């Protein structure tokens, strides 16, 4: 799969997702959140807007909502990624949907505003991983301050009203389609079903889907079903036939072929690997598809605390 529309889960804090990741490769994808990337170590190449951008240690970059991007590091790169939905700011800063940040890396430590942004980014990340009482309030408060710093530090432009409206309509359609698939993947689902709901021809929707999700409708549907199957293989003792029916596959052979394509192993072998090595899940999924490792909450907090020590000395 060359690229995808990523559905970011904000399970811990509404409209915010923070993670520390060791990155080798992340396939081309887009999402509705604004994404801030801070490179802690190593080097990273980002392909976006038909150009290659190279980040070095200490560099920081902003990726806009629905901006296609691909990440690649020849050697492992350690990244702190802070994602937040523009919805956070809409009630008091409605122009957020018109803002488009310049995608150029900057060194945060080269300016006072940059240092201030970095300090707030780290403190917000610390609150996110510590999970102390009322921490979502703290995360949202710092997100507003970070956005204020971004507006001062990062060159940006405002989209024309017509362009903005077209983008918003497209985003709304993408969200409706992805939500519909997530709710109905267990049933027999056809592109024509969605085309009818959207009052579009199947041909137009097929092109729209591939252009905005980066894959065909069937590939995306199979990925959603395989992700559900993967969860059931780990957390239930259901037979392959039961999992096949629960995830919407027409037969076990189709489940086997689709699962092997995305995860590199058959469902049966995948389950055996989990039983013999429970921690294999991250490696099995990420080596085949994305080649990346997301750090645990405790690992992330330890690293953030180390990064904050010199910051606290200066502030």
pLDDT digits (tens, 9 = 90+) for 270-280: 888 877 654 44
Q: How confident is the model at residue 3 (pLDDT cuts 50, 70, 90)?
A: very low
SS3 119: helix
Of 32, 29, 25, residue with least CA distance to 9: 32
Share of the chain above pLDDT 70, in %: 91
C-alpha torsion sign, points 104, 154, 12, 174: negative
Summarize the confidence of residues 137-150 as an average pLDDT.
Answer: 96
* Cβ atoms of residues 68 and 30 within 8 Å: yes
Average predicted confidence (pLDDT) for the chain: 87
Q: How confident is the model at residue 66 (pLDDT cuts 50, 70, 90)?
A: confident
Write down the residue that tokens 């959140």 correspond to: 33
Q: How confident is the model at residue 283 (pLDDT cuts 50, 70, 90)?
A: very low
Q: What is the mean pLDDT of residues 172-181?
A: 86
Whole-number pLDDT of residue 210? 85
- For 234, phi then psi, to 5°, come to -85, -45
Looking at residue 200, its pLDDT comes to 94
Residue among 281, 185, 279 nearest 233 (CA)? 281
CA distance 158 to 96: 9
- 282 pLDDT more than 70: no
Instruction: Report CA-CA distances (Å) from 34 to 16, 83, 118, 311.
Output: 10, 6, 16, 25
Query: For residue 170, what pLDDT band results from cuts at 50, 70 and 90?
Result: confident
With a cut of 50, say whether residue 37 has pLDDT above it: yes
> Domains (ranges, CATH) in the chain?
3-159+293-314 (2.60.120.280), 162-278 (1.10.10.60)
Cα gap 2→171, rounded to integer Å: 20
Task: Point out which residues pair with 69 in neighbouring strands.
Answer: 29
> What is the arithmetic mean of pLDDT over 186-211?
93
Q: Is the pLDDT of residue 199 over 90?
A: yes
Average pLDDT over residues 166-176: 80
Question: At residue 288, does pLDDT exceed 70?
Answer: no
146 pLDDT above the threshold of 70: yes
Read off the pTM: 0.65
CA gap 65, 207 in Å, rounded:
21
Is 131's pLDDT higher than 90?
yes
The whole-number average pLDDT for the span 48-62 is 91
pLDDT of the residue at 212: 78
Query: Tens digits of per-residue pLDDT, 216-256?
Result: 899 889 988 998 998 899 889 999 999 999 999 999 999 99
Question: What pLDDT, in 10s, does the model give residues 72-83?
Answer: 998 889 999 999
Judge whether residue 284 has pLDDT over 50.
no
C-beta separation of 278 from 272 below 8 A: no
Report which of 34, 67, 76, 61 is spatially closest to residue 49, judged by C-alpha positions.
67
Which of 22-31, 199-208, 306-315 ranks highest by mean pLDDT? 199-208
* Structure confidence at residue 206 (pLDDT): 94
Position 98 scores a pLDDT of 84
């Amino acid at each position: 799969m060359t690229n995808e529309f990523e559905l970011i889960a904000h399970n811990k804090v509404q409209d915010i997702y923070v993670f520390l990741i060791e990155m080798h490769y992340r396939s081309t994808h887009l999402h509705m959140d604004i994404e801030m990337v801070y490179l802690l170590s190593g080097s990273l190449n980002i392909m976006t807007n038909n150009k290659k951008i190279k980040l070095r240690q200490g560099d920081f970059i902003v990726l806009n909502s629905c901006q296609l991007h691909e990440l690649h590091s020849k050697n492992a790169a350690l990244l702190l990624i802070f994602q937040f939905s523009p919805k956070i700011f809409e009630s008091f800063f409605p122009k957020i949907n018109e803002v488009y940040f310049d995608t150029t890396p900057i060194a945060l430590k080269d300016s006072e505003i940059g240092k201030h942004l970095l300090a707030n980014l780290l403190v917000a990340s610390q609150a996110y991983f510590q999970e102390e009482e009322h921490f979502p309030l703290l995360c949202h408060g710092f997100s507003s301050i970070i956005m204020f710093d971004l507006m001062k530090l990062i060159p940006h432009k405002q989209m024309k009203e017509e362009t903005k409206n077209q983008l918003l309509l497209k985003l709304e359609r993408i969200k409706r389609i992805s939500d519909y698939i997530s709710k109905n993947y267990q049933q027999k689902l056809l592109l024509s079903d969605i085309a009818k709901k959207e009052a579009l021809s199947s041909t137009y929707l097929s092109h729209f889907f591939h252009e905005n999700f980066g894959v065909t409708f069937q590939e995306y549907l199979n990925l959603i079903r395989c992700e559900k199957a993967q969860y059931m293989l780990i957390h239930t003792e259901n037979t392959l036939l039961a999992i096949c029916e629960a995830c919407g596959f027409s037969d076990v052979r189709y489940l086997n072929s689709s699962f092997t394509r995305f995860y590199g192993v058959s469902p049966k072998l995948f389950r055996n690997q989990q039983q013999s090595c429970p921690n294999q899940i991250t490696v099995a999924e990420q080596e085949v598809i994305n080649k990346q490792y997301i750090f645990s909450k405790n690992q992330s907090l330890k690293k953030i605390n180390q990064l904050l020590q010199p910051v606290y000395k200066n502030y």
